[in-house]
Structure 1
């Protein structure tokens, strides 16, 4: 069964299916039933949904702080690479072995909510020290991303599309920061010298390419909503034109190898070569600093469609922490969520990640003032003139359509085998059907 068919089955039946996978691959903290509150002590298992050399040390520090403050609780850490996390959750939901608590991003929240494996956290939050301390817009995105208006994860961070640029290369070329689209395209052209392996931009052509293309499309087109009624705006002529201009950079102002770029390759190529710009979110800031140094890198939010017009920003997934229904120690697991989302710990995590903190107290900490890209992104998100284009994370088919199904088509687009209109029309057809199916399942037709 294909990924999209599996997702539709999960949403329609709200049952856990996992074909060809076994629970033995997952850490276990008990399975079946609805779990228990426990006595607030003992061992809990935490799955980090972005495990790796950048994030694992941060979580281990938070866990150490938590265990010191709660000597009766031990946290078992399991780091899962972000590309594998949804499959891991699906596997564990089907065969048993979900953690007590885990990182949950809104990009796959609908899938987990449809399976009924997450505990609604509204009542717990209402009586918690966190009540009123989480940025409301982040909560709203989490609620709208599930299968109901329930809060299935406590938000911890958010992101915004960013154009990273090499300040040293810009200064040497006499260029201004790319704060307008005209400046962006002019810089991409001026900084390109293929004979010396210099390029103005590096494009993401491999895994994760469609998400970044959507950001570039909507930011340039000014289209400020994802749906026009029940029809997606992905293939709006303004978006098609924006996509044509964006992919037109390929091989003209980018390396030809970019067609296979995933996140890791893109960042490595940008940080270690003579490339002027790349587009990603705030999460790559620390990587750039570690390699280039703070004086050679800066970032600006994606510009508005025209100077003076409202900024249209595609919603990046809000990250959060969820409590799983099968936990045998929900009281201890909730204590960990409260601790991780508290002022000090949430501030620490987001400072290391370069993301926008969800805790309202953390959002005003001094490190944000010292991190210009994060500060500017936070200001852009809070600007009433910024229009956030909410991606339909609530659709169980969203992940499969925007990744496994359309990323190979995006590569064909870069290679000139399909047109921008063909790409957008194919994507729109999948999304319109998914939206119609979702409305029918949920009695909204």
Structure 2
């Protein structure tokens, strides 16, 4: 089953997608001196390599399991694992690119791919993939997505997984309140109100106010407004009037239907809060499904695709495809490539994605039985394959995208939540930054 739609020029990054949701200094190959501009070498195909996990702490256990399997198959290669928190990985890569200490292999989400590739830090993988048994066994849409994310020319990561936004809701709380599933935005806002009882510390929703908040807000905006294009010519639609109104309605949930602590919630705090408290709904992605199963059991919650408009149309923003990159400075590229191939092959790719609840990039892994048993993953794939779903393609190809959508604007989003900045002012400022970045990118492509 094809779950991605084709991309359109450089701008079409991802028709399916995939999250969000993805430090420490580590040795690079033999001497740990790798930096941008260092071309490295193939090496012997044996010895030690270093791998940076871009979601350290969250995916550490499954990666260590995969590394153990790899080392059993390749006893002449040792993989040094370094877990880097998703909130720190961008700065860790940037620091290592400038100062040395890049790994041989690193996890890289599409949202940060353009910035890393633009610094000439990654090895193009096209020729290696052409000679690999994986050539015909990777989802073509995911391959196209990561290629487009770096500008549409070379392939700088092998895709490992695709994620998708999910609305998790407590079925037990909904049933007790006599509420229907929050399948539409109208039902979502009704449920947020009805399930809130602040005197008893019960809330209808938990909002993401900390790291990763802007991407989630964009999803809520476009989902409600029904606007299906990120660009109107060379100007972004983020500050269109319908989006302004949608953001105003979304942020009005804060403290009215959400805990006040949400202001500083990144995804780990948000997930932990939802799993332990009496909160009706939470928007995250497929990656936290197993956490909810462990905390709540499989029968007290569901994870469904983003709400639709009342006419049944679903609009959502694209989520970045995650992948593995080979750093150009590696002194043992042959061994590093063996690890990448192993991690993206059927067994390891299926094992990793089952743990994360994400869609495998390996087409054989995507047929495994666990996907049908994981309702959020199955529903996400079905929704994204439905003609009524419209994907707003975020501009991952912009080198400044990750900075603009995170560090540059997350503090201002908190001001909006606190009522210290108007939603329109926030979106106008965001639009100005995006339009400037788009103009600079187009100039570079000319």
**TM-score clears 0.5:** yes
2:158 is the alignment partner of 1:154? yes
- In structure 1, the partner of 2:357 is 354
- In structure 1, the partner of 2:437 is 434
Distance 2:79 2:64 in 1: 10
Distance 2:231 2:200 in 1: 44
CA contact (8 A) 1:160 1:281 kept: yes
CA deviation after TM superposition for structure 1 residue 201, in Å: 0.4
- In structure 2, the partner of 1:403 is 406
In structure 2, list runs of 5 or more residues that go unmatched: 1-22
CA deviation after TM superposition for structure 1 residue 35, in Å: 1.5
Distance 1:423 1:405 in 2: 11
Distance 1:379 1:258 in 2: 31
2:211 is the alignment partner of 1:207? yes
User: How big is each residue's C-alpha offset from its partner over 1:301-359, in whole Å with a ceiling of 9 and x where there is no partner?
Assistant: 112233332x2221111100001111121111111111100111111001101111111
Q: Which runs of 4+ in 1 moved over 6 A?
A: none
Q: Secondary structure at the match of 1:108?
A: helix
Q: Secondary structure at the match of 1:404?
A: coil
Q: Secondary structure at the match of 1:252?
A: coil
Query: Residues 229-240 of structure 1 correspond to what in structure 2 (within 5 A)?
Result: 229-240=233-244
Distance 1:28 1:344 in 2: 27
2:180 is the alignment partner of 1:176? yes
CA deviation after TM superposition for structure 1 residue 72, in Å: 1.8
In structure 1, list runs of 5 or more residues that go unmatched: 1-22
Distance 1:256 1:185 in 2: 18
- In structure 2, the partner of 1:16 is none
Query: Residues 10-409 of structure 1 correspond to what in structure 2 (within 5 A)?
Result: 25-29=25-29, 30=31, 31=34, 33-52=38-57, 54-309=58-313, 311-409=314-412
Distance 1:414 1:172 in 2: 30
- In structure 1, the partner of 2:20 is none
CA deviation after TM superposition for structure 1 residue 148, in Å: 4.3
CA deviation after TM superposition for structure 1 residue 200, in Å: 0.4
CA deviation after TM superposition for structure 1 residue 24, in Å: 9.2
CA contact (8 A) 1:180 1:307 kept: no
User: How big is each residue's C-alpha offset from its partner over 1:267-303, in whole Å with a ceiling of 9 and x where there is no partner?
Assistant: 1211111100011111111111111111112111112
Superposed CA RMSD in Å reads 1.5
Q: Secondary structure at the match of 2:204?
A: strand
Distance 2:149 2:169 in 1: 32
CA contact (8 A) 1:222 1:304 kept: no
CA contact (8 A) 1:304 1:312 kept: yes
TM-score, normalised by the number of residues in structure 2: 0.91
Q: Secondary structure at the match of 2:168?
A: strand
User: How big is each residue's C-alpha offset from its partner over 1:344-377, in whole Å with a ceiling of 9 and x where there is no partner?
Assistant: 1111001101111111111121111111011101
Distance 2:202 2:329 in 1: 53
Distance 2:325 2:24 in 1: 22
TM-score, normalised by the number of residues in structure 1: 0.91
Q: Secondary structure at the match of 2:407?
A: helix
Q: Secondary structure at the match of 1:107?
A: helix
CA contact (8 A) 1:113 1:147 kept: no
Alignment length, in residue pairs?
A: 419
- In structure 1, the partner of 2:13 is none
Specify whether residues 384 and 126 from structure 1 end up closer, same or farther in structure 2 by C-alpha distance, changes over 3 A only.
Answer: farther
- In structure 2, the partner of 1:19 is none
User: How big is each residue's C-alpha offset from its partner over 1:201-257, in whole Å with a ceiling of 9 and x where there is no partner?
Assistant: 011112211110011111111211111111001011121121111111112211122
User: How big is each residue's C-alpha offset from its partner over 1:58-78, in whole Å with a ceiling of 9 and x where there is no partner?
Assistant: 001101111111122111111
